[in-house]
Amino acid sequence: MKYNFDEVIDRSDNFSAKYDELEAKFGRSDLVSLWVADMDFRAAEPIMEAIRERAEQGIFGYTSRPESYYKTMKNWYKTRYNWDMEKDHIIHSPGVVPTLSLIMKLFTEPGDKIIIQSPVYYPFFNVVKDNERELVINPLKKVDGDYFMDFEDLENKIDEKVKFLILCNPHNPIGRVWTKEELRKLGDMCIKNNITVIADEIHGDLVYDGKRYTPFASISEEFRLNSISCLSATKTFNIAGLQASFAVFPDKEMHDKFDEFLGILDIKRNNCFSLVAMEAAYAKGGEWLDQVLVYIRDNMKFVNEYCEKHMPQIKANMPEGTYLVWLDCNDLGLSDDALNDFFVNKARVALDGGSWFGEEGKGYMRINVACPRATLKEGLDRIKEAIINEL
């Protein structure tokens, strides 16, 4: 079927964090909401149909995952990415961030070091610090507008206390889809230094222009055994509110310890709607995904062309993956606090502040373009007018 992503949906009664929490997050509610990473699009019809059918049953007890749940998941990754994951390695989790936090708690000790590559998804900072582990920053380097891993810096910061490296693949917020060669170099360094890679690959399906997402664990048997993969259909299919993800633990000892702790917390089961939604997404969601990727890519081009034409002080990157555009706002000449104030109180647009993603993000903003074109244009128009009238 043909999906209409231009439809502007009123989310005022949607109990949406993206809209209902504007006042708490930004201090005002009259903002065009282009921040937190969920989409303003209806989910794929097969997903909604599966949820409707499940709701019609009228009984919402504890769920048991059928074999078909794992089959669709495994088939998705095998067909699209040539990764043959094993069912016995898969563990359900409420989300990627809870998975990361539990890994810190279960497999590290206070004082152990964890490497992240900033600017990067800000919960990475929190799961390390909140679990009293030591954060090691391996900043990405920017060369002629493109970001790359800094392997020399990484090598200099590795010591015997480093236990994990959290990889963001594709990378949020800068949108790089790491090549197999880059991942291989990173993986070889981690194996050499006895560092396990935690691969957050939740944006893996959201890739453009012939780029290819390579699951880290699919590269080699060594990499598979030296990694934990964090995955979900929630970003791909806009079902994050259903709170379902899964992690792949090839190491049996780690798998069993993680699974045991989920049992202690009594959070091992899907809720009844996430179960059918995840299965429907992986079994029947490909048509919707193909269409939404075209629409999102056009939105990215729209942002880039709008900035070039109307506000060249802001430079928009063209991401290889995700639906997030990293905006270089340094030419506005504002301090970090002034920059955030400008977007909130002058432009009246809610974006993610670049500094949320680490020191390397200062002077930048992240805009979510997974929304109708009209919503995106309204936000950009407000920014343009604020530049003209307020700066």
Q: What is the DSSP letter of 321?
A: B
- State whether residue 353 is helix, strand or coil: strand
Rounded distance between C-alpha atoms, residue 391 and residue 380, angstroms? 16
How confident is the model at residue 169, as a pLDDT? 98
Together in a domain, 79 and 178: yes
Report the CATH number at residue 189: 3.40.640.10
Together in a domain, 232 and 294: no
**pTM across the whole model:** 0.97
For residue 331, name the pLDDT band (cuts at 50, 70, 90). Answer: very high
375-391 mean pLDDT: 97
Together in a domain, 129 and 161: yes
Is 9 inside a domain boundary? no
How do residues 269-293 score in pLDDT, each as one tens digit?
A: 999 999 999 999 999 999 999 999 9
Together in a domain, 132 and 250: yes
How do residues 30-40 score in pLDDT, each as one tens digit?
A: 999 999 999 99
Together in a domain, 296 and 247: no
Rounded distance between C-alpha atoms, residue 218 and residue 204, angstroms? 13
* 158 conformational bin, left if phi > 0, alpha if psi -120 to 50, beta if neither: beta
Together in a domain, 160 and 250: yes
How do residues 67-125 score in pLDDT, each as one tens digit?
A: 999 999 999 999 999 999 999 999 999 999 999 999 999 999 999 999 999 999 999 99
How do residues 225-237 score in pLDDT, each as one tens digit?
A: 999 999 999 999 9
| Helix ranges, 121-179 (H) | 123-129, 151-157
How do residues 304-329 score in pLDDT, each as one tens digit?
A: 999 999 999 999 999 999 999 999 99
Residue where a domain terminates, one of 283, 314, 340:
283
Rounded distance between C-alpha atoms, residue 40 and residue 134, angstroms? 37
Rounded distance between C-alpha atoms, residue 253 and residue 49, angstroms? 39
> Does pLDDT of 12 surpass 90?
no
Together in a domain, 26 and 173: no
Q: How many residues does the chain have?
A: 391
Together in a domain, 40 and 68: no
Together in a domain, 262 and 374: no
Q: Taking all residues of the chain, what is their mean pLDDT, rounded to a whole number?
A: 97
How many domains is the chain built from?
A: 2
Q: Which range of residues forms the domain containing residue 279? A: 61-283
Report the CATH number at residue 340: 3.90.1150.10
Rounded distance between C-alpha atoms, residue 303 and residue 183, angstroms? 29
